[in-house]
Amino acid sequence: MLARTGTAPTRNYVGRFAPTPSGPLHFGSLVAAMASWLDARNAAGTWLVRIEDLDTPRNVPGAAEDILRSLLAFGMEADGEIVWQSRRLAFYDEALATLALASLTFFCTCTRKEIADSQLPGAKSALIYPGTCRTRPGQDQGALRIAVPAGEICFVDRCHGRQCQDLAIDVGDFVLRRADGIITYQLAVVVDDAAQGITHVVRGADLIDSTPRQIFLQRALGLATPDYLHVPVVVNGRGEKLSKQTGAVALDSEDAIALLARAACHLRLGTIKAATLAGFWREALLRYSDLEPAALVSHPAPCPSITS
Ligand SMILES: [Zn+2]
């Protein structure tokens, strides 16, 4: 139950929205932002924004500022300073040093083709690293991977229930720092969630498969594991997750209330008619407080389709 009417929070709630500045805010990211904002406000918590701008070749100049402006125009203001991952490189290096001290990381120079050639028959479509370089001594360049343990890592998602993954079987030793020096999403998100004191992660269901990797890293680094809620992602007419790559269009903040109402529909909040931004958010919050997280997946919303 998300509703806590009249009850005090059992612990401080700190949530976040963490967009990648590869383009302007689009409808899919608006839904994710709304979900995290409503969940934080419903818990009388703090809502933070973090710009995940480490994959520099994919950053679009001005996109981060554009996203921040859009969030404000849609009535979502961060409660603290905006965190930029590109300014936090020293902290990721520190985490890598901790993992290296525990002998968990190793350098890997395998090509994509070598990894593909070593796939076992019946392996899932994603390439699973077979651990080739784990025991290759003396390597000091290439991608930095972490050796994953055998056995399941499980967590309880507030929407999807208990989720388990055996990293050794489903993922393999994954990359923490690419050969070009770029820190990967998995490591940065774990370091930053801890640094920002995030207690509740609310994000798109496309990231549910990443969660066991992040929990493994949290444990390896001695960090707390937040609560997780993965909300349905918005798909386009071809069933693809809406993103810049699949043709999502930038949102016009002139249409803020109408776009917010559509986003609310995708979060199963029904039809909200409001004349002002403040009125919209009041009503959305009221409805969200009555929502069971499981309802986020159990009733397909009859929403207008958002296609490009
Ligand atoms: Zn390798």
pLDDT at 252 (0 to 100): 84
Q: What is the CATH number of domain 2-89+186-298?
A: 3.40.50.620
pLDDT at 42 (0 to 100): 95
pLDDT at 140 (0 to 100): 85
- The pTM assigned to this predicted structure is 0.90
How far, in Å, is the centroid of ligand 1 from the Cα of 209? 22
Q: What is the pLDDT of residues 24-56, one digit of tens each?
A: 999 989 999 999 999 999 999 999 999 999 999
pLDDT at 29 (0 to 100): 92
How far, in Å, is the centroid of ligand 1 from the Cα of 116? 11
pLDDT at 9 (0 to 100): 47
Judge if 2-89+186-298 and 104-185 fold alike in CATH terms: yes
| Domain limits, the chain | 2-89+186-298, 104-185
Alpha helical stretches, state H, 134-239:
167-170, 185-195, 211-220
Q: Ligand 1 being an ion, which residues bring their Cβ within 5 A of it?
A: 108, 110, 132-133
CATH number of the domain at 104-185, out of 3.90.1140.10, 2.120.10.30, 3.40.50.620, 1.10.3470.10? 3.40.50.620
Confidence bin at 240 (pLDDT 50/70/90): confident
pLDDT at 303 (0 to 100): 62
Q: What is the pLDDT of residues 265-282, one digit of tens each?
A: 989 898 999 999 999 999
pLDDT at 224 (0 to 100): 97
Q: Does position 3 have pLDDT exceeding 70, yes or no? A: no
How far, in Å, is the centroid of ligand 1 from the Cα of 13? 40
Q: Mean pLDDT across the chain, nearest whole number?
A: 88
How confident is the model over 196-220, as a mean pLDDT?
Answer: 96
How far, in Å, is the centroid of ligand 1 from the Cα of 166? 20
pLDDT at 221 (0 to 100): 98
What span, in angstroms and rounded, lies between the C-alpha atoms of 269 and 288?
7
Q: Name 26's bridge partners.
A: 250
How far, in Å, is the centroid of ligand 1 from the Cα of 151? 22
How far, in Å, is the centroid of ligand 1 from the Cα of 272? 52
pLDDT at 291 (0 to 100): 85
How far, in Å, is the centroid of ligand 1 from the Cα of 109? 5
How far, in Å, is the centroid of ligand 1 from the Cα of 61? 34
How far, in Å, is the centroid of ligand 1 from the Cα of 53? 26
Percent of the chain with pLDDT over 70: 89
Confidence bin at 2 (pLDDT 50/70/90): very low
pLDDT at 246 (0 to 100): 65
Alpha-carbon dihedral 152, 155, 160, 164, rounded to 10 degrees:
0
